[in-house]
Structure 1
Amino acid sequence: MSELSHYRNIGIFAHVDAGKTTTTERILKLTGKIHKTGEVHDGESTTDFMEQEAERGITIQSAAVSCFWKDHRFNVIDTPGHVDFTVEVYRSLKVLDGGIGVFCGSGGVEPQSETNWRYANESEVARIIFVNKLDRMGADFFRVVKQVKTVLAANPLVMTLPIGIEEDFIGVVDVLTKQAYVWDDTGLPENYEIKDVPADMVDLVDEYHELLVETAVEQDDDLMMAYMDGEEPSIEDLKRCIRKGTRDMSFFPTYCGSAFKNKGMQNILDAVVDYLPSPTEVDPQPLTDEEGNETGEVATVSVDEPLRALAFKIMDDRFGALTFVRIYSGKLNKGDTILNSFTGKTERVGRMVEMQADERNELSGAQAGDIIAIVGMKNVQTGHTLCDPKHPCTLEAMVFPEPVISIAVAPKDKGGSEKMGIAIGKMVAEDPSFRVETDEDSGETILKGMGELHLDIKVDILKRTYGVELQVGQPQVAYRETITQAVEDSYTHKKQSGGSGQFGKIDYRIRPGEPGTGYTFKSVVVGGNVPKEFFPAIEKGFKSMMEQGVLAGFPVLDVEVELYDGGFHAVDSSAIAFEIAAKGAFRQSIPKAGPQLIEPIMKVDVYTPDDHVGDVIGDLNRRRGMIKDQEAGATGVRVKADVPLSEMFGYIGHLRTMTSGRGQFSMEFSHYMPCPANVSEKVIAETKERNAKK
């Protein structure tokens, strides 16, 4: 077991295509974990091991690897960059102590970098910045540094400067030590020399060195006073100050290089050791009660404390279910019994493994600070706390965004139903932002996710991994019907056919109810014209008819029925007769009460950069949206609006086009509102046509 101060739990995150996975590959190569580097564009990288990842050249699920550098143990998580998989980034950040934000030297600070940066700020994760791809056309290190300040409202502390740019990029200057690292043309990371700073860069390096020292000594009052008196601080003192400032997120040490060409990677690894916090230096996770409120206690990172761990990812692979766990305190050994504080059930730890992407090494024990996987846990889900049964506790839970898009699916062949059910069950356990439900109205299976690519990949995984071919339908909107006018009416049900007949007469009022009340029934009959024992039958008769409205067969909402009089026959009246009378009354009176189609309205929250606010608001108005609020933030504007669900299909694609890929949105159901006449007519016509085909 390594000493806790020698642990570094770090994540690598950035916009799609900034070079995260390539950076991870280089780290593994440098630390001796792999001997041949796999390239993303060849579909051979270590951490992108899913078929879909290799094919599309993108990372879909975060992968964990462990390696060693200068006696320090790194647990590295390579996260996806695509906006549809942000939940992977979010839950990885939740269990990490530090991160490397990778930015493309030519692309700069891109939209997904902003989202991930925001998540990292919320999770209070210390970061260093790596400006990658400086060998590419159009690369500009200083422009990216400026963007970090303006777009992310962050403070980059430049630690290395590039020597040459684009195809002339040959190495970096360490601003702290004023030494130049120059690589040769072999492309091997170990083939570099340490030289003097090139003559044409001396002034620039001096300028940045002075800036670095001034920023660093602000972290220590005594050093600052000495520096102002003309005393130059030692490298050790400066490193200590930079470490403190990085941990407090006062600034972010910023490095440059080219992961693909193996230039500048050693400096990054040294920076992880020098500046990113160990598990003991991070604010401990707060403990919460069952409702999720903080109790004031924290999970102190220490081997001597009781076991506290968080399950942050479930993965199903060829060996069975894997539960990824970050251990905050205590020790965990093979054969231990642990308590899941969410379910209240205990489970025995059978096998524990250290992950190398999809390879695994068996472990007999693990301790505070470790990120490991447990094989074969039965009832554990993402966000559950695992702890010592004698010391139950709950760590702060994870909150996942609501899905924004849904599609209806059905297996192509009859036998696929059961197979699909089992497969989707496993996929829902793995990915908390992927949901499934059965539409009560249509009986269809509805898959919900974070975006079109997200659901595309899920359908692809079902087909390839689980062998389930699906028919994917158009999403359907759950319309409803209601009434707009009050009606007073009477209905008599009589039937005479030898022996006792049926008789029931009701006088009633039907009127629109308050929004959200559904169906309410009351009786004000006095004098016993309708005996009390028949009231439930009348209520039941009306209620059963509310399932299907008269316009297009959608359920009816917000209707009040009041029974005020009626008549009965001593022999022929029965509960069934009054129930039939109520059904007849519904059919007779609802068409007279101004029936109307109502549609679901969604509460939409759009995040957009400042320069696209006008386009976004104009587009929401075209979608029949009502703008409710606008909030300006450091990096953009949040627009809140109420928009009909039927107008929101495919919105994410339009939003990304309008905002050059930088916009994001979330939506949830708010309430029902009447449809405009043109929409109503179209829906009724389409529904009747669909029903006629059935």
Structure 2
Amino acid sequence: MVERTTASAGANGKTVTAQRPDEIRNVALVGHSGSGKTTLVEALAVATGAVVRAGRVEDGTSVSDYDDIEQRQHRSVQLSVVPMAWNGRKINLLDTPGYADFVGELRAGLRGADAALFVLSAAAGVEGVSGPTLALWEECASVGMPRAIVLTHLDTARADFEEMTETCRDILGGGQSESILPLHLPVYGDKGADGHRPVIGLIDLLTQHVYDYSAGSHTETPASREQLALMAQARDRLIEGIIAGSEDETLMDRYIGGEEIDLETLVTDLERAVARGSFHPVLIAAPPPEGARQGLGTVEILDLVTRGFPTPAEHPVSAIGVNGRSAPLVCDPGAPLAAEIIRTASDPYVGRMSVVRVFAGTLRADDTVHVCGHRGGGAGTLDHDSDERIGAVSAPFGKQQRPLGHAIAGDIVCVTKLSRAETGDTLSAKDSPLLIEPWSMPDPLLPIAIRAHSKADEDKLSLGLARLVAEDPTVRLEQNPDTRQLVLWCLGEAHRDVALERLRARFGVQVDVTDHRVALRETFATTAVGRGRHVKQSGGHGQYAICEIEVEPLPTGSGIEFVDKVVGGVVPRQFIPSVEKGVRAQAARGVSAGYPLVDVRVTLFEGKAHSVDSSDAAFQLAGGLALREAAAAARINLLEPVAEVRVVVSDDYVGQVLGDLSSRRGRVLGTEPVGSGRTAIRGEVPELELRRYAVDLRSLAHGAATFTRAYSRHESMPAPLADAIRAKNTG
């Protein structure tokens, strides 16, 4: 982090390439919405010479947030890959959305990356570090992904550098606060008219030099006596943190013994600790002034990425071969091909485009590759398994696609013409097929019922929905057999809006959103008798059928049981199945509020027939009439589905969540601590009360909660609520 050179490739308009995997760094930018990730990407692009002015390529569009939907909604909704070069290394920055609804795109970015920069707004304080940020930090820790922290917005009135770094240590450190320490201290300028003090430079705690950015470029000077005194305590703490995590066990003894550890040793140990994920440096960033090339901290961040973050070869991924055995992939351009689609998009001119991370081998344009994967990210039998010929290979850069002849192991590129491949699929050599297990995706829990807006939309709906689901694995499509509704399951309201906008703008399908219906049931609460009489005479053969039935309730889950107790042949044998068919048809239509009837025993015990006028159709009608008459004489219960839920929430919001579950007619089954200041709450809640729970829980717990749901059973609904539903359905 001392030696620096200018970018070796990737000047504006040129394609950034790498010849070896160790020349590549894949870095995901992670952080809450508004933390400044996209601004940081643009600042780094300017600093490396990838663009000549803040975040803009030759056509004037941004290198990130360039999608039409992002432009209209003014927020990131998809993963963007921005390649650039620094110190002879190719850096693929994966800019991920910060809004919780687009966590699927964020997970894809983490899968494509080998390290992560957590971008946190100093103005947000504790709220910006806890909740979703903590969950993502722990997720990265669970897979050993190296991480660094970049603090932004230090020039705002509420920002406090020391307080923010302490907050990061307390919340993210997990009891190892010395693993999260700043590499620099901010240098503040004079107060402006608004009372704010801009950050104009950095004090490097290791080199004891000052990096001045006040003129919009990086200049280096020795620290003054006052600055040396200011940094002394922080420098000692940083050196102790580096030594404590050093693989050289003699280093601590030498340091305690009073030996001055040389700068080269400290820098080398720091870089090794960052690469193996045991030390997480805190850096500072701010965008460059108008017309300037280098924003505050951009040089230091790029140095850390190229020298401290691991190469693709140091981040192994396993794949399953044709023999069913799992083995780590070798990040070697000469190995058999193994790549994974981390994102799928549609372009109106070139069709489907796949963003691909190459883990092994070399991906070449016009190659035929083997494609396999699980639709929806599930395990088990492969849903598709075939060969496809890819089209062009290109480097993504904003809206542009810069042509490449091939992509080596470790790189991230775009390929075209993979018509059947979807996000999460594996691309491998056709003579050596492999499967990389897909990464986990959150379960969409917000149901949206839709229908085609017009006949023309209805004709295009199936294709549009298929393309939408192929692009976004966090969208689940369901054709509900009970309610006969077409349901899109999304992660939240913002996710819903983007999904519907993509259907309209990209796929030309306009849909209407309707009220989502929950699959209710009906059942008899008391025993009742009904008589069905269908007698008509209109010349020629008439219609004649009379039957009498008894209906009694059965335990939950029994379905419909039909019993024949006819004696004396009053209902001929050939018409008894007709009565049963009529009863079951009427049960499917419902007898009270229009919901299917379940859990009853129907006993046919009496009836009459005519030698000429009786028929199958007549006895079917009579059976349905008998069931309706029995229902009119009985008390009918409405049954609602009940879900078993598990809510994981920050301890600060347990009381609010418990109260909210109670207000939703929920029953709490138990609570248990799950570590890191969080509690798991188990309960049962009627599904009628869960239709907006994904949105309401996020608001209630300020994003510091997640939940899962699973169908448990149907049970009786409270009488007042059942009466209100009947009145609505029959009014």
Q: Provide the TM-score with structure 2 as the length reference.
A: 0.85
Q: CA deviation at 1:441?
A: 5.9
Between the aligned partners of 1:163 and 1:546, the Cα distance in structure 2 is 76
Matched, 1:29 2:46: yes
- Name the counterpart of 1:219: 246
RMSD between aligned residues: 3.1
- Name the counterpart of 1:312: 342
Between the aligned partners of 2:512 and 2:533, the Cα distance in structure 1 is 49
**Which is worse superposed, 661-670 or 202-211?**
661-670
Q: Deviations over 1:317-345 (max 9, x none)?
A: 23211011111111221222111123121
**Where do 1:18-167 residues align within 5 Å?**
18-38=35-55, 45-109=62-126, 110=128, 111-154=131-174, 155-164=179-188, 167=197
The one-letter code matched in structure 1 to 2:389 is R
1:448 maps to which of 481, 486, 489: 489
Contact 1:239–1:274 (Cα < 8 Å) also in 2: no
Between the aligned partners of 1:565 and 1:674, the Cα distance in structure 2 is 31
5+ long unaligned stretches in structure 2: 1-17, 190-195, 290-294, 374-383
2:474 maps to which of 411, 414, 433: 433
Q: CA deviation at 1:473?
A: 3.2
Q: CA deviation at 1:619?
A: 1.8
Contact 1:86–1:116 (Cα < 8 Å) also in 2: no
Contact 1:288–1:395 (Cα < 8 Å) also in 2: no
Contact 2:41–2:55 (Cα < 8 Å) also in 1: no
Contact 2:181–2:282 (Cα < 8 Å) also in 1: yes
5+ long unaligned stretches in structure 1: 690-694
- Name the counterpart of 1:285: 318
- Name the counterpart of 2:581: 540
- Name the counterpart of 1:381: 422
1:237 maps to which of 261, 265, 274: 265
Q: CA deviation at 1:657?
A: 4.0
1:417 maps to which of 455, 458, 464: 458
Between the aligned partners of 1:671 and 1:598, the Cα distance in structure 2 is 9
Q: Deviations over 1:217-259 (max 9, x none)?
A: 3331243444444444444433343334334432312112323
The one-letter code matched in structure 2 to 1:157 is L
**Structure-2 change in CA distance of 1:416 and 1:231 (3 Å):** same
The one-letter code matched in structure 1 to 2:316 is D
Contact 1:603–1:642 (Cα < 8 Å) also in 2: yes
- Name the counterpart of 1:337: 368
**Structure-2 change in CA distance of 1:526 and 1:118 (3 Å):** farther
Q: Deviations over 1:613-651 (max 9, x none)?
A: 212211221121222332333043333332223333444
**Structure-2 change in CA distance of 1:153 and 1:489 (3 Å):** farther
Matched, 1:472 2:513: yes
Q: Deviations over 1:439-477 (max 9, x none)?
A: 556655433311112112333344444555544333333
Between the aligned partners of 1:237 and 1:559, the Cα distance in structure 2 is 79
1:266 maps to which of 280, 296, 299: 299
1:197 maps to which of 207, 223, 230: 223
Q: CA deviation at 1:200?
A: 3.1
Q: CA deviation at 1:478?
A: 3.1
Contact 1:79–1:89 (Cα < 8 Å) also in 2: yes
- Name the counterpart of 1:644: 686
SS of 1:546's equivalent in the other structure is: helix
The one-letter code matched in structure 2 to 1:539 is E
Between the aligned partners of 1:574 and 1:412, the Cα distance in structure 2 is 43
The one-letter code matched in structure 2 to 1:648 is L
Contact 2:184–2:202 (Cα < 8 Å) also in 1: yes
Between the aligned partners of 2:322 and 2:410, the Cα distance in structure 1 is 23
- Name the counterpart of 2:292: none
SS of 1:302's equivalent in the other structure is: coil
How many residues get paired?
680
Q: Provide the TM-score with structure 1 as the length reference.
A: 0.89
**Which is worse superposed, 397-406 or 680-689?**
397-406
Q: CA deviation at 1:503?
A: 6.2
SS of 2:125's equivalent in the other structure is: coil
Between the aligned partners of 2:587 and 2:328, the Cα distance in structure 1 is 52
**Which is worse superposed, 329-338 or 487-496?**
487-496
**Which is worse superposed, 619-628 or 593-602?**
593-602
Q: CA deviation at 1:97?
A: 0.8
Contact 1:483–1:595 (Cα < 8 Å) also in 2: yes
Q: Deviations over 1:31-77 (max 9, x none)?
A: 1111111489xx96321112232233311101112111101111111
SS of 2:589's equivalent in the other structure is: coil
Contact 2:63–2:82 (Cα < 8 Å) also in 1: no
Q: CA deviation at 1:530?
A: 6.5
Contact 1:340–1:387 (Cα < 8 Å) also in 2: yes
The one-letter code matched in structure 1 to 2:183 is M
Contact 1:16–1:112 (Cα < 8 Å) also in 2: no
Between the aligned partners of 2:711 and 2:571, the Cα distance in structure 1 is 42
Q: CA deviation at 1:346?
A: 0.5
The one-letter code matched in structure 2 to 1:158 is P
Contact 2:557–2:599 (Cα < 8 Å) also in 1: yes
Q: Deviations over 1:347-386 (max 9, x none)?
A: 0122111111221111221121111111021111111111
The one-letter code matched in structure 1 to 2:488 is L
The one-letter code matched in structure 2 to 1:174 is D
- Name the counterpart of 1:553: 594
